[in-house]
Amino acid sequence: MPFPPQHCREKRWGRRYLLRVTWINLAAAVTAALLFIWFQNETGLRAWARVFATSLIYSFSIGTLASAVMPLLGERTYSRRLPVKYAVYAAALLGLTVVGCLVGGGVVMATGLSPRAVFWKNFYFLLRFSSLIALTFGLGAVFYETLRVRLEETTLELRTRELAEERARKLAAEARLSSLESRIHPHFLFNTLNSIASLIPEDPRRAEDMIAKLATLLRFSLDSGQQGLVPLSQELRVVADYLEIERARFGDRLRYSIDVPVELDSVQVPPLSLQSLVENSVKHAIAPRREAGEIWVAARAMDGGIELEVADTGPGFLLEAAPPGHGLDNLQSRLHALFGATARLETGRRDAHYLVRIRLPQPAAARNS
């Protein structure tokens, strides 16, 4: 049968395969016996039993050979075009029918079901008759196996895709929880609330705005786990809110710029992807240093894809050095789960500045979460 190579090695002579072969041989034997009785006008139980026994011997002689040879043939012709494969199968079935008729004829003569003289006299008729039955049931079985294997492959592909989507949702949930944990970290809340408190007597409007930004940030962290992808414009608003909150904490030590073309606003990106990169920059480039630092956020479409980039004035580090469970390690896993090998997370330097770049396939805007 036309199994793919791996399928041939795993399924050949399996219990289900042998059961299917047995049923096919029995069906072919019954069909051949009924046709022979109909056309030859055989009457009587003894004649019917002889015809059925003979058909059974021929059917299993040809069918056993076909069940052994056809999987090997299917393995070697799996990548061929369909008309070529079926022509090869038909030729092989005809050849196996000749051999099977000789083997079956020997068994029939040995059991006394047919005298030697009568057998050879009727051999060519039996051969033509057996060829018709073999082609009908053999090619029918080939067609059935082809559909069955394709169904198994499609089912496996769907299950693999479902597992990948489930893994992506799990990673997104982990990123959401990790992000939420960092937002509600006592130091972060203390610093943010302390900054807001200091602004209330001096600039009440800005303090109110800071509270709104903090609420938006926490709400997005909670909601992001329900979405596989979000518009880039929404992600940038969260990034800007986060940077404004941190700017209230660090003052002039934190400078930032966001340079993203308006036409990329609808591009779909993983939630908290850019925010994770920006948070990493604040942690390593701004917080541990007394001098002022700068963070640049940019995005551009190029080479059939889109690049999201966060650069800073920090010392930088290698992506390979990120420990398991680190924000960047988690982001890299999410990108792979959502986009496969077409998405990449890269680190490097440009003009003495450390940068992290996300490459996403395009049209990313057309993707649905």
On the 0-12 / 13-18 / 19+ scale of CB atoms within 10 A, 22 is middle
The reported pLDDT for the residue numbered 152 is 80
Task: Identify the pLDDT of residue 322.
Answer: 60
Give the distance from CA 2 to its chain's centroid. Answer: 24
Q: Helices 123-183 & 82-111, crossing angle to 10 degrees? A: 130
**Arithmetic mean of pLDDT over the chain:** 77
Two tokens, residue 168:
């992506």
pLDDT score at 262:
93
Please tell me the number of Cα atoms within 13 Å of 236 on its side-chain side: 21
Compute φ and ψ for 318, nearest 5 degrees: -80, 140
Cα torsion 40, 44, 46, 52: sign: positive
> What's the start-to-end Cα distance of the chain, in Å?
41
For the chain, give every domain's residue range.
5-161, 184-366
Query: How confident is the model over 212-223, as pLDDT tens digits?
Result: 888 887 777 766
Comparing CA positions, the residue from 204, 273, 201, 199 lying closest to residue 234 is 273
Distance CA 282, CA 239 (A): 12
pTM of the model: 0.49
Q: How far is the C-alpha of 275 from the C-alpha of 297, rounded, in Å?
A: 10
Residue with more model confidence, 263 or 123: 263
CATH class in words for 184-366: alpha beta
Q: Residue 30 and residue 21: Cα distance in Å, rounded? A: 14
Please report which confidence band the pLDDT of residue 81 belongs to, taking 50, 70 and 90 as the band edges: confident
Question: Which has the higher per-residue pLDDT, 337 or 240?
Answer: 240
Helix (H, G, I), strand (E, B) or coil at 79: coil
List, for residues 274-294, the tens digit of each pLDDT value.
988 898 888 888 888 888 999
Residue 33: per-residue pLDDT: 76
For residue 351, the Cα-to-chain-centroid distance in whole angstroms is 40
Please identify which residue in the block is written with the tokens 């998405």.
Answer: 343
